Chains A and B, each alone.
Chain A
Amino acid sequence: MSQVIQAQLFPGVNLTAVHTNKFKSSYFGVSLLTALDRDRAAENALVPWVLRRGCRTYPDLQAISTRLDELYGGALEVTIEKKGESQCLCLNASFLDDAFTPGEEQLLEPAVSLLGDILLHPYTENGVFSKEYVAGEQTNLIDTIRAQVNDKRRYSMLRLGQEMCRREAFGISKLGDEESAAAITADSLWRRYQALLSTAQVELFYCGSAAPERVQQAFKTAFAKLPVNPDREQSECELRITAPAEPNVVEEALDVTQGKLAMGFRTDGIGVWDEEYPALMLLNAVFGGTSMSKLFMNVREKLSLCYFASSALEKFKGLMMVSSGIEFEKFRQAKDEILAQLDACRRGEISDEELDGARRILSTALHTLTDSQRRLADYWLGQAVAGIDETPEQLAQRLEQVSKEQIVQVAGRMHLDTIFFLKGKEAQQ
């Protein structure tokens, strides 16, 4: 069985430790959480990438890779996440669990110490980040920002979020924009890094077989040099936004053979904090969240209007987003049919099979989450952003209590805000 222990190591610096014997690896997360900000997003996003280039003890990539190899192929990756209106700058690592090292070597302490070194003791030149590292990672960041257009399905969802929330922090890209990325210097990035170290909320995560006391001690030692600040940031998010009377329609043309239709709904402020949240999860599952949902069964299978059609929640922001791939000329037909399926939910046209199926799928997803270290890390990071400590099992319990009437009621509160249509260039003529 697994056990979750949460502790504040220093003010605004929290550790979540999942103690379990069922994995071959141990998993570590170090995340800095800060409010999404248009001017700072690119700088913030660049910080962990530059940190990943080298530290005091392992000054370049090859030295870090060598160290990871010595620790039985440890993996260390940078991810930048957006959760609600928080930008999460994450260093995630996984190592062979101590139980499976051939010579009973202990990897926990060296692993945490490596993470501490990377976050707190970067490789510097003249008291700031190396110009070479900053310039290299800056180019990569700009390339990544530009590459967002490559995956058209994801790009259309990204654009939908930007258009829909253009006056809210949520509309800011988690990577920032190209222009501010291009303006970053080694000096400006160093100042941003120092500010983040002393003001960002810090979330630490561990999942593995080591005893919680040992884990806590390892993190305390490795992160002892974090600046002390009793007033570190706390995540916030604006949810109570109402949709316009007439939805905003945005079209964009690119050289593609398949169109992408994305539609964004406001949930009337319902988010992960609310009593109605399990009902919203079920509504989304019935409407478009699964392979037996109304969008999949009717819009894709029965009417063959789309290659794919699904919906997903932004649970920290109160949005429900529909994503679909269509032939260009099916725009109106697909849009009408997607809306018709939501209307059916509003009228209570939800069969017992649909509801039971949706409930079983969500329940399974929450239980299987506990079988994956990466998903556990992501779940608990989200809970930290939201400031709640509900376990996946507890949320699964709440799902069992939701009635069809509650789902119908929640469906009535969904309002279409923005439509984004990615069409082909020839379709303009």
Chain B
Amino acid sequence: MNTLEYPRIGERLYHRVLDNGLNVFVCPKPEHAKSYAFFATNYGGMDMRFCLDGRWSDTPAGVAHFLEHKMFDTEDGNALQDLASNGASPNAFTGNDITGYYCECTEKFAENLRILLRFVSVPWFTAESVDKEQGIIAQEIRMVEDNPHWRVFMNLMAGLYQRHPARVSVAGTVESISHITEKTLYDCHRAFYTPENMVLCVAGNVDPEQVCAIADEILPKRGSGKVERDYGGAEPPEVAAARVEAEMEVSTPIFQYACKCDPVPYGDQTLRMQLLGELTAQALAGPSSPLYASLYRQGLINSEFESGYEMYSGCAFLYAGGESRDPDEVARQICVEAERLVREGVDEALWQRLKKAAYGSRVCGLNSFENICVGQAKSFFDGAQALAFPEMFDTITCQDALALLNTWIRPDCTTLSVVRPKEGTR
């Protein structure tokens, strides 16, 4: 067992690689009532094309999410109910490049961890259950399609990317999921739910040795390696569309405006870019930036307005968005401000305050076991160490931010996605 010390933020992680290749991280928190276990695979909506047993296969959009729903089924019933009856709150989510299963509890931690590890590692699908799930997920897809925030984001992704599968919705469409069979699910499980492609992160009132012993007991003794995947070849630097617009039943137009950045290769630079990207977004349009104050004063944005940086394997973007009566004017002023900053530089006092603020918020974020575990899992998949952020912060300079901002003013690299009120809406 390795011990990873993070003295500046008062954290300690225990780490071990099990014989089957699974990485286990444990963050003991004896003073809390609850424990939180997060078991994740580096597999998400983007991973539609992969090579299994020497053969390339294409799977329909939405399989990772569909699989997440079906994993809770066990030969004896449903793991959700087994965990719930112990008072545990289990759940799962599927992202572009991760599927995670977690459970939070205050009682019977060892038993709950066994259930969690077992249902995620042992698939159990039947034609009948897959058929039934198609109805449930179709409803879920229809519900999310009514959500204007989802629509504005998906339109943004489709506008930014010409090839990269992040342009496709993680849940797929009612049509795409109709092609999923139990064979698809078994294949994808075998390809991606191998110990080498997964990680287990636990935080709470737990003993690291016990966590590893339970994982050894429940999980397969041997892994079967990692599969190769394909994201559709090199993504051009230009966006697919500079503007995407839709009409929905909303009261005020909502928008997302983003700039396509260079992808970040695997390794500890992913953490550095994440921190740098967030700081840059704050310097450009965060609540203490001159632009934010000006937009707010003009009544062009409200407190929903947010800016940030997102990164997945093979793609990254800076964004800002929210509600506005005039999204085009907001986008125009963002561009003008980006140009000004690249020309004149970021105010040094502002930059130092932003770093202070970003540091404090990151530390406070560690109140959440979910943040600790999900953050650790994601950074592990990216080849970095989430909790090493204080040291990373020290290396980031104002010049780095300006270099990143420079991408905002490249030609053909931004997309504005707008959802407007339908005619006849109040």
8 Å CB contacts to B: which residues of A241-295? 254-258, 290-292
8 Å CB contacts to A: which residues of B80-116? 80-81, 84-90, 104-107
Q: Are B363 and A100 in contact, with the CB atoms below 8 A? A: yes
The answer to whether residues A257 and B84 also contact, given A73-B358, A100-B9 and a CB cut-off of 8 A, is no
Nearest CB in chain A: distance from B33 CB, A: 4
8 Å CB contacts to A: which residues of B283-302? 286-288, 290, 292-293, 296-297, 299, 302
Q: Mark A369-385, 1 if CB is under 8 A from B, else 0.
A: 01111000000000000
Q: Mark B67-86, 1 if CB is under 8 A from A, else 0.
A: 00000000000101100111
A403 on the B face (CB < 8 A): no
Q: Are A24 and B287 in contact, with the CB atoms below 8 A? A: no
B145 on the A face (CB < 8 A): yes
A297 to B85, CA, bound (A): 13
8 Å CB contacts to B: which residues of A1-54? 1, 21-25
Q: Are B32 and A257 in contact, with the CB atoms below 8 A? A: no
Nearest CB in chain B: distance from A320 CB, A: 20
B422 partner residues in chain A, CB cutoff 8 A: 255
Nearest CB in chain A: distance from B329 CB, A: 16
A367 on the B face (CB < 8 A): yes
Q: In the complex, what residue of chain A is closest to B8 when comparing beta carbons?
A: A102
The answer to whether residues A143 and B86 also contact, given A24-B366, A69-B356, A74-B360 and a CB cut-off of 8 A, is no
Name the contact of B106 in the complex, choosing from A65, A66, A368 (C-beta under 8 A). Answer: A368
B135 on the A face (CB < 8 A): yes
A317 to B74, CA, bound (A): 41
8 Å CB contacts to A: which residues of B211-251? 248-251
B303 on the A face (CB < 8 A): yes
Q: Are A61 and B296 in contact, with the CB atoms below 8 A? A: yes
Q: Interface size (A, Cβ < 8 Å)?
A: 68
Q: Are B89 and A364 in contact, with the CB atoms below 8 A? A: yes
Q: Are B148 and A150 in contact, with the CB atoms below 8 A? A: yes
Q: Which of A157-165, A168-176, A352-360 contacts B (4 or more CB under 8 A)?
A: A352-360
B360 partner residues in chain A, CB cutoff 8 A: 71-74, 95-96
A147 to B422, CA, bound (A): 14
Q: In the complex, what residue of chain B is closest to A372 when comparing beta carbons?
A: B367
A140 on the B face (CB < 8 A): yes
A361 to B90, CA, bound (A): 11
Q: Are A357 and B357 in contact, with the CB atoms below 8 A? A: no
Q: Are B356 and A73 in contact, with the CB atoms below 8 A? A: yes
Q: Are B85 and A357 in contact, with the CB atoms below 8 A? A: yes
B354 on the A face (CB < 8 A): yes
Nearest CB in chain B: distance from A314 CB, A: 22
B323 on the A face (CB < 8 A): yes
Nearest CB in chain A: distance from B375 CB, A: 14
Q: Are B290 and A62 in contact, with the CB atoms below 8 A? A: yes
Q: Are A73 and B361 in contact, with the CB atoms below 8 A? A: yes
Name the contact of B84 in the complex, choosing from A22, A96, A140, A292 (C-beta under 8 A). Answer: A292
B332 partner residues in chain A, CB cutoff 8 A: none
The answer to whether residues A367 and B426 also contact, given A307-B143, A357-B84 and a CB cut-off of 8 A, is no
B354 partner residues in chain A, CB cutoff 8 A: 69
Q: Are A371 and B302 in contact, with the CB atoms below 8 A? A: no
A396 to B132, CA, bound (A): 38
Q: Are B361 and A136 in contact, with the CB atoms below 8 A? A: no
8 Å CB contacts to A: which residues of B19-44? 29, 31-34
A75 on the B face (CB < 8 A): yes
Nearest CB in chain A: distance from B152 CB, A: 11
Nearest CB in chain B: distance from A20 CB, A: 8
B142 on the A face (CB < 8 A): yes
B299 partner residues in chain A, CB cutoff 8 A: 136, 139
Q: Mark A111-129, 1 if CB is under 8 A from B, else 0.
A: 0000000000000000000
Q: Are A69 and B88 in contact, with the CB atoms below 8 A? A: no
B286 partner residues in chain A, CB cutoff 8 A: 65
Q: Are B359 and A73 in contact, with the CB atoms below 8 A? A: yes
A363 on the B face (CB < 8 A): yes
B364 on the A face (CB < 8 A): yes
Q: Mark B108-144, 1 if CB is under 8 A from A, else 0.
A: 0000000000000000000000001001100110110
A289 to B398, CA, bound (A): 50
Q: Are B358 and A364 in contact, with the CB atoms below 8 A? A: no
Q: 13 extra interchain contacts, Cβ-Cβ under 8 A, other than A70-B356, A307-B140, A364-B34? A: A60-B293, A69-B357, A72-B360, A100-B9, A132-B297, A139-B299, A143-B251, A257-B142, A357-B85, A360-B84, A363-B107, A368-B33, A370-B33
A–B Cβ pairs within 8 angstroms, 30 of them: A22-B31, A62-B288, A65-B288, A70-B353, A70-B356, A73-B356, A73-B361, A75-B361, A96-B364, A100-B10, A132-B297, A139-B299, A146-B252, A147-B323, A150-B251, A152-B146, A254-B249, A255-B248, A257-B145, A258-B143, A304-B136, A307-B139, A307-B143, A357-B84, A364-B89, A364-B104, A364-B105, A364-B107, A370-B33, A371-B34
Listed from nearest, the 4 A-B pairs whose CB atoms lie closest are A360-B87, A72-B360, A73-B357, A65-B288
